[in-house]
Amino acid sequence: MFTAKGLFAQIPCPNREKCLIPRCMFSHDDRSKQLIADATATSNVSRMIDTDDGEQNGQRKRQKIGGQEESPLPKTGAPSTSIQKPTTTQKPEVVKVPSASIAKRPSALQRDISPPPLRRKSQNGTSAVAKPSGAAPATPQAKKPAPVKTPLKSEPLNPRARRTAPAVHNVRLKLLQALYDQYKRLNTELAKDANDAEEELVLSEQGVITRALNAEESACEQASIYSNVIKNKIMTYKRMTVAQWKEERAKEVAKEKAVEAAAISDTPTAKPTEPPKPIETGLSTEQEISILPRLYTPIDDLAKHGYVTTIPTPQEIETAKNGIEASKGWEVCDRCKSRFQVFPGRREEDGALASGGQCTYHFGKPYWKDRSTLDPKAKREKKWRCCEQNLGDSPGCTTAEHHVFKVTEVKRLAAVLNFEKTPENNDASLDRPVCIDGEMGYTVHGLELIRLTATTWPRGEELLDVLVRPVGEILDLNSRYSGIWPKDITSATPHLSTTVPPPPTSPQNIYIVPSPTHARALLFSLITPRTPIIGHGLENDLNATRFIHPTIIDTALLFPHKAGLPYRNGLKMLVHTHLGRHIQVVKEGTVTGHDSREDANAAGWLVRWEVGRVWERLRREGWVVRGGGVVGPRGEMIVDKMAGGEKEVVVGVGSKRGREEMEEGS
Ligand SMILES: [Zn+2]
Ligand SMILES: [Zn+2]
Ligand SMILES: [Zn+2]
Q: Is 383 a domain residue? A: no
**Protein residues within 5 Å, CB atom, of ion ligand 1:** 362, 384, 386-387, 397
pLDDT at 12: 63
ipTM, two decimals, is 0.81
Is 647 contained in some domain?
no
User: How far does the centroid of ligand 1 lie from the alpha carbon of residue 87, in Å?
Assistant: 30
Q: What is the pLDDT of residue 369?
A: 80
The parent domain of residue 98 ranges over 7-264
Domain count, the chain: 2
Among 595, 602, 461, 482, residue whose Cα is nearest residue 526: 461
pLDDT tens for each residue of 603-633: 999 999 999 999 999 999 999 999 999 999 9
Nearest bound ligand to the CA of residue 263: 1
Q: Are residues 72 and 139 in the same domain?
A: yes
3-class SS of residue 368: strand
Cβ proximity of 475 and 444 under 8 Å: yes
Q: Dump the DSSP string for 276-309.
A: PPPP--SS-HHHHHHHGGGGSPPHHHHGGGT---
Distance, C-alpha 88 to centroid of its chain: 31
CA distance 452 to 468: 7
Question: pLDDT below 50 — which residues of the chain?
Answer: 1-7, 30-148, 266-272, 587-592, 645-666
Question: Is-contact 476 401, C-beta < 8 A?
Answer: yes
User: Measured between alpha carbons, how far is 257 from 545 in angstroms, rounded to an integer?
Assistant: 29
Whether 621 maps to a domain, the answer reads no
Q: Mark whether 291 and 240 lie in a shared domain.
A: no
Q: Give the model's pLDDT for residue 163.
A: 82
Ligand positioned closest to the Cα atom of 536: 3
Same domain, 520 and 572: yes
Instruction: Tell whether the torsion through CA atoms of 421, 427, 431 and 435 is positive or negative.
Output: negative
Burial classification of residue 61, based on how many CB atoms lie within 10 Å of its CB (0-12 exposed, 13-18 middle, 19 or more buried): middle
**Does residue 210 fall inside a structural domain?**
yes
Contact by Cβ (8 Å): 183, 40: no
Q: What CATH number is associated with residue 546?
A: 3.30.420.10
Within-domain flag for 611: yes
- CA pair distance 639, 137, nearest whole angstrom: 70
Is 482 a member of any domain?
Answer: yes
**How far is Cα 91 from Cα 87, in angstroms, rounded to an integer?**
8
Ligand nearest to the CA of 439: 3
Q: Residues with beta carbon < 5 A to ion ligand 3?
A: 594, 599
Same structural domain, 495 and 573: yes
Question: 164 and 297, same structural domain?
Answer: no
Q: Do residues 463 and 434 touch, judged by C-beta distance below 8 A? A: yes
Position 223, amino acid? A
Asked if residue 147 and residue 291 are part of one domain, the reply reads no
Instruction: State the number of CA atoms in the 13 A half-sphere of 493 facing the CB.
Output: 13
Whether 151 and 291 map to the same domain: the answer is: no
Please indicate, yes or no, whether residues 150 and 291 belong to a single structural domain of this protein: no
Give the end of a domain, one of 599, 615, 631.
615
Ligand at minimal distance from the CA of 387 is: 1
Give the model confidence (pLDDT) of 314-348 as tens digits.
999 999 999 999 999 999 999 999 999 999 999 99
Beta strands in 224-371 (DSSP E): 330-332, 339-341, 359-361, 366-368
- The verdict on 522 and 593 lying in the same domain is yes
**Ligand 2 center from residue 358 Cα (angstroms):** 7
The answer to whether residues 592 and 261 touch, using CB atoms and an 8 Å cutoff, is yes
Amino acid (1-letter code) at residue 383: K
Sign of CA dihedral 213, 215, 217, 220: negative
Q: For residue 537, how far is its CA from the centre of ligand 2 (angstroms)?
A: 25
Q: Do residues 155 and 214 share a domain? A: yes
CA distance 101 to 106: 8
Q: Is 210 found in the same domain as 289?
A: no
Ligand lying closest to the C-alpha of residue 570: 3
> Is residue 452 located within the same domain as residue 554?
yes
Ligand 3 geometric centre to CA of 286 (Å)? 28
In angstroms, what is the span from residue 333 Cα to ligand 2's centroid? 5
Do the domain assignments include residue 660?
Answer: no
Assess if residue 90 is contained within a domain. Answer: yes
How many Å lie between the centroid of ligand 3 and the Cα of residue 468? 15
C-alpha span between 547 and 560 (Å, rounded): 24
Q: What is the CA radius of gyration of the chain?
A: 30
